[in-house]
Amino acid sequence: MAGIYIHIPFCRQKCYYCDFYKTVNTSLQHDFIGALKNEAKVRKNYLNNETVETIYFGGGTPSVLTAPEIAEILAVLNKEFTVNSNAEITFEANPDDLSNAYLKYLKQEGINRLSIGIQAFQNRHLEKMNRRHNAAQAVEAIENAAKNGFSNLSADLIYGLPDLTPKEWEESLNQMFKLPVKHLSAYHLTYHEGTAFYTWLKKGTLKELKEAESVAQFNTLVDLSIANGFEHYEISNLAKDQLYSRHNTAYWMGTKYLGLGPSAHSFDGVSRRWNDSSVEAYIKAQTNNQTYFDEEKLSENDQYNEYILTRIRTKWGVSEKELEQRFGHEKASYFSRQLAKYNDTGVLQINNEIITLTRKGLFVSDEIMADLIII
């Protein structure tokens, strides 16, 4: 069982908070598709012929791709890999790209899950973030996707935005719950160095939300989502009818995956590889058969850390039994000692030897994870 991630590094314009690798130079798109197809062929043995259960088009903005480009990519994946006929195929899209004609193409090409970047339902926030769509387009995109037969719909929202009021955040969530969305990814805004938001924060022209307000927005997210039939299954992810993201859940469960495209990461169980970020360099390297990635073999400590970092963020948690079986008594004892520091703090809970974060713990998860891993 394995997954394939494809990084589409193009965006029509840059959002002011985003630090993902992307370029607005879409003139490179044609050469990029050629390079991507080449990488898929060259790396066809990376997954050891394991069946591909999930394919994920992320970015960047995959919805800048034309229908024939999507078809070409999927054809090469189906030719070079064993893709399950029932595979989850997710496609990230911006609302303003989802015309009826485009949605029909996506459906026809076998895309069966859409992840739509909504971020907010207030035009003032969308403009401030430099998103290309407005609130009305966001609603229309989700409704049109459902009308075109997409029943597995995910949407992204951002909270903790500068000057996002509690009322606006509730309004965004309630608007989302009125729509046929089965999965919600909600992220707290991060001020990444190199982004416009970071520069404005440093200059003082933009003000960070107070921590207490961020915590309150996180609580509103979880409370309202649960009240509307969603299950909080990972720090930033909530799902209805058990429609978890199969692709991301496989990451958290330590499944192998192949990442294609600039900046994409791959994992084969014992080592990690990450491609260089520049699309120009990526195309050149694919054309000239040059190395375009870095790699690291995971030590036993790295593998233990990976297990903790990925599992503790999910509702499936860390199993003390599995920890001992996989990593031995010494590491399991280390984990228990670190865990004991949190007795009576209310941030962790244990059920049948499975350790998960409580609601209180989810918000301070970075701190707890740093304490549980081996540095």
Residues contributing to the site for ligand SF4 (CB under 6 A): 11, 14-15, 18, 20, 22, 59-61, 94, 117
Rounded CA separation 20/197 (Å)? 14
For residue 187, the minimal CB distance to ligand SF4 (Å) is 11
3-state DSSP call for residue 228? coil
CB nearer to ligand SF4: give 16 or 177: 16
For residue 97, the minimal CB distance to ligand SF4 (Å) is 10
For residue 125, the minimal CB distance to ligand SF4 (Å) is 13
CB nearer to ligand SF4: give 126 or 332: 126
Q: Contact 266/318 with Cβ under 8 angstroms?
A: no
Rounded CA separation 301/327 (Å)? 9
CB nearer to ligand SF4: give 192 or 321: 192
3-state DSSP call for residue 136? helix
Task: Give the rounded distance of the alpha carbon of 26 from its chain centre.
Answer: 23
Apex 19 CA angle, 243 and 179, nearest 5:
30
Closest by CA position to 55, among listed 22, 83, 79, 95: 83
3-state DSSP call for residue 51? coil
One-letter amino acid identity for 272? R
Residue 153 CB neighbour total at 10 angstroms: 20
CB-based burial label for 10 (10 Å; 0-12, 13-18, 19+):
buried
For residue 304, the minimal CB distance to ligand SF4 (Å) is 32
Closest by CA position to 77, among listed 259, 212, 349, 238: 259
Rounded CA separation 229/293 (Å)? 42
Residue 103 CB neighbour total at 10 angstroms: 22
Apex 274 CA angle, 88 and 370, nearest 5:
90
Structure tokens at 110: 């076998």
Structure tokens at 301: 């400590």
CB nearer to ligand SF4: give 15 or 235: 15
For residue 15, the minimal CB distance to ligand SF4 (Å) is 3
Separation of first and last alpha carbons in the chain: 30
Distances (CA, A) of 193 to 16, 25, 274, 357: 11, 22, 21, 29
For residue 44, the minimal CB distance to ligand SF4 (Å) is 28
For residue 9, the minimal CB distance to ligand SF4 (Å) is 9
For residue 170, the minimal CB distance to ligand SF4 (Å) is 23
For residue 236, the minimal CB distance to ligand SF4 (Å) is 15
CB nearer to ligand SF4: give 153 or 158: 158
Residue 278: DSSP 8-state: -
CB nearer to ligand SF4: give 19 or 50: 19
CB nearer to ligand SF4: give 106 or 126: 126
Residue with tokens 């029509």, as numbered in its chain: 12
CB nearer to ligand SF4: give 15 or 36: 15
For residue 353, the minimal CB distance to ligand SF4 (Å) is 40
CB nearer to ligand SF4: give 236 or 338: 236
Residue 286: DSSP 8-state: H
CB nearer to ligand SF4: give 14 or 44: 14
